[in-house]
Amino acid sequence: MKQFGLSIWGDDNFIIEDDTININYASRPSLLQITKEIREKGYKGPLLLRFPHLIEKQISTLFKTFAKAKKEFKYKGGFHAVFPLKVNQFPNFVDALIDVSKPYDYGLEAGSKAELIIAMSKTPIGAPITVNGFKDKEMISLCFIAAKMGHNITVTIEGLGELETIVQVNREFNAHAHTSVAPKIGVRIRLHSSGIGLWAKSGGYSSKFGLTSTELLEAYRLLEKHDLLEQLWMVHFHIGSQMGDIAPLKKALREAGNIYADLKRRGAHSLSAINIGGGLAVEYSQHPHAQERNYSLDEFANDVVYLMQEIAKQKGVEEPDIFTESGRYIAASHSVLVAPVLELFSQEYTENGLRLKAQNPPLIEELYDLYRNIKRKNAREYLHDALDHMESLLTLFDLGYIDLEDRSNTEILVNLIIKKAIALLKNEDTDELKKLQDRIQEKYLVNFSAFQSLPDFWGLAQHFPIVPLDRLSQKPTNPASIWDITCDSDGEIGFNRDLPLYLHDIDVSKEEYFIGFFLTGAYQEVLGMKHNLFTHPTEAVIRFDDSGEYTIDDLIEAQDLMDVLDDLDYDTGVIDKTLKYRIEESDLITAEEKREMLGKLYLYLSENSYLKTIQAINENDA
């Protein structure tokens, strides 16, 4: 895996120079430097770094690419986009997104009342808001309120019941109104073609959402009957997220395009937009043979524009405005999770750990000779001998002929021989060597929770690129598996022979080593679980000023222990009093010890759940 697959997933956002991975922008600071600067302010544990310039890049690339496609095909319809809030609703993200998207007519998409409130207060007046998902009367009323504020808002009807509610709410809001104002109406269509991949359920005939042809015709009749047909202006579909293959999108576009043209010819004169939802995929892979996406944004935009134009031409209708609701594509790259390695397991397998005796069993003496004399040309033979000896020695132990120290020496020597053999034979990519890597994999205990910060890894086996923040001029040699600090065995990113990850051999008692998890900006934060009560990590926004230097803004520290308990509705006042009372009433400690302990308790309660690194412990002791 050359440079941790950066050229596959990195999109030129980062660059490896000398030892470190740097931001490929402005003054090109290293992630390590930014991390250290934040930690020097006293923030320990994992850090979530946000980069607004990467949000800006995605939005501008989306708009530029569609502008280019429109120009190429002389397409007459417009292009618009909204950000689906469910992908990331965190204020540091949304505020940055609104800020960097000012030059574009970029809006927000809401799928629940709380998201709608964010959209109504954050979207600039005039930029589009779309509202999808199931809605009750209150939610539809909120859409009318937004329209009356002057928002350019479209309510997408997901079922006929919603349409009846719209008719009713329209009467309530507009019967006696000074001027009649209503949100624009979209219809979500239930596609015959379906999405693919892990998220396929959003599209297709068995989808949760959308109107069938029969319902669509009934909706048309109802809109006409209630004088709302001129509000109908958008046809909407969404085929599912992380669409790896472009083929299902093309099918969906043909289907939706024909529905658009048909409704328009039937008399829906205001109908003038087609909303293609999200689904634009992100390349998460670090390995060429495991790439997740088979198309480029150019191809995507060209297909959409071309197909819409073809259908409009065939059916003799105007070319529709195109809307997208891509979320993952906009948000994924903007954040990096940085987490310190706390410990390496299997470090006992060093030469120092050997307990050789004056008189060792002959097979152990032989193992020791193999270890000392292994060379490139004999590596394979010596390796096989070592594995053979190990089998015999373990049998001897079971039969009581050798003791625990001999067995430990066997483990260590065989492990060291495997490591040496792999290093010597590194140019031979055989299955045998790959299998042996499983045996010598190093377990990196990392100060983060996979449940909190990479929930799609836990739930869907989604891969996220992993790169250490420094030592990048050295070849990493340890086949690595990553353990998080939850007490759950699912919190492990195991070593995978087909998608191997190698990390550096380090001594964490002497030096810090940080792991970066990339492309975590979409879905992970709000889906993150507080398993074991590990909460959202400390976050910061990294901006670049005119001189190209970075600033660390909007720092939000991970919740402290009492806040976490308060969120679960514990009465933290009572907990606090009880703890103090129990210290004060204890007859196991002196008055002076009590004072000291109350001080410590006060400090600990103000900190977050994540562990302190070994470094930090030393600092505190000093």
Ligand X SMILES: *Cc1c(COP(=O)(O)O)cnc(C)c1O
Q: Which is nearer to ligand X, 199 or 382 (CB)?
A: 199
Name the residue among 116, 112, 128 with its Cα closest to residue 186.
Answer: 128
* Residue number with CB closer to ligand X (241 or 613): 241
Q: How far is the CB of 59 from ligand X (least distance, A)?
A: 13
Give 460's contacts (C-beta < 8 A, 6+ positions apart). 198
Task: State in angstroms the smallest separation of the CB of 76 from ligand X.
Answer: 25
473 within 8 A of 19, measured Cβ to Cβ: yes
Q: How far is the CB of 132 from ligand X (least distance, A)?
A: 4
Residue nearest to ligand X (CB): 278
Closest CB to ligand X among residues 157, 280:
280
Minimal distance, residue 615 CB to ligand X, in Å: 38
- As given in the structure block, the two tokens for residue 265 are 């010819």
Q: From the CB of 352, what's the least distance to ligand X, in Å?
A: 51
Q: Which is nearer to ligand X, 84 or 516 (CB)?
A: 84
Contact 244, 292 (CB under 8 A): yes
**Residue among 330 and 540 whose Cβ is closer to ligand X:** 330
Nearer to ligand X, 202 or 486 (CB): 202
- Crossing angle for the helix pair 91-100 and 113-122, to the nearest 10 degrees: 40
| Residues linked to residue 83 through DSSP beta bridges, in sequence order | 108
Closest contact distance (angstroms) between CB of 325 and ligand X is 4
Q: What six digits make up the tokens of 472?
A: 């990048």
**Distance in angstroms between the alpha carbons of the first and the last residue of the chain:** 41
Angstrom CA distances, 34 to 30, 79, 392, 576, stand at: 7, 37, 52, 36
**In this structure, what token pair is assigned to residue 245?**
């293959």
Q: Judged by CB, which is closer to ligand X: 252, or 412?
A: 252
CA atoms within 13 A on the CB side of 93: 29
Rounded to whole angstroms, how far apart are CA atoms 370 and 397?
A: 21
SS3 at position 181? coil
Backbone phi, psi, residue 483, to 5°: -110, 135
- Cα–Cα distance measured from residue 282 to residue 333, given in angstroms and rounded to the nearest whole number: 9
Residue 62 in contact with residue 326, Cβ under 8 Å? yes
How do beta strands 335-345 and 514-517 pair? antiparallel
The pair phi, psi for residue 560, each rounded to 5°, is -80, 170
CA contacts within 13 A on the Cβ side of 356: 15
CB of 394 to ligand X, least distance (A): 51
Q: Which is nearer to ligand X, 275 or 447 (CB)?
A: 275
Count CB-CB contacts under 10 A for residue 410.
23
Tokens 């010890």 correspond to: 593
Q: What is the smallest separation between the CB atom of 588 and ligand X, expressed in angstroms?
A: 56
Helical pair 404-424 and 362-373, crossing angle rounded to 10 deg: 20
In whole angstroms, how close is the CB of 81 to ligand X at the nearest point?
11
| Secondary structure class of 615 (helix, strand, coil) | helix
Q: What is the closest distance, in whole angstroms, from the C-beta atom of residue 501 to ligand X in the complex?
A: 26
* Closer of 321 and 325 to ligand X (Cβ): 325
Residues forming the site for ligand X (CB under 6 A): 84, 86-87, 132, 238, 241, 277-280, 325-329
Cβ proximity to ligand X, 235 vs 367, nearer residue: 235
What is the gyration radius of the CA atoms in the chain, in angstroms? Answer: 30
**Amino acid (1-letter code) at residue 427:** N
CB nearer to ligand X: pick between 151 and 293? 293
The helix/strand/coil state of 579 is helix
Task: Measure the CA–CA gap between 279 and 291, rounded to whole angstroms.
Answer: 16
Q: Is 267 left (phi over 0), alpha (psi -120 to 50) or beta?
A: left
Measured CA to CA in angstroms, residue 68 lies from 60, 75, 299, 387 at distances of 12, 10, 11, 61
Q: Min. distance of Cβ 332 from ligand X in angstroms?
A: 9
Nearest to ligand X of 35, 241 (CB atom): 241
Residue 79 near residue 63, CB atoms below 8 Å: yes
Q: What is the smallest separation between the CB atom of 120 and ligand X, expressed in angstroms? A: 18
86 versus 184: smaller Cβ distance to ligand X: 86
What amino acid occupies position 198? L
96 or 506: CB nearest ligand X: 96
In whole angstroms, what is the distance from residue 85 CA to residue 106 CA? Answer: 13
Minimal distance in Å, beta carbon 143 to ligand X?
15
The token pair at 156 is 């997408």
In whole angstroms, how close is the CB of 330 to ligand X at the nearest point?
8
- Beta carbon of residue 156, minimum distance to ligand X (angstroms, whole number): 8
By beta-carbon proximity to ligand X, the closer residue of 327 and 340 is 327
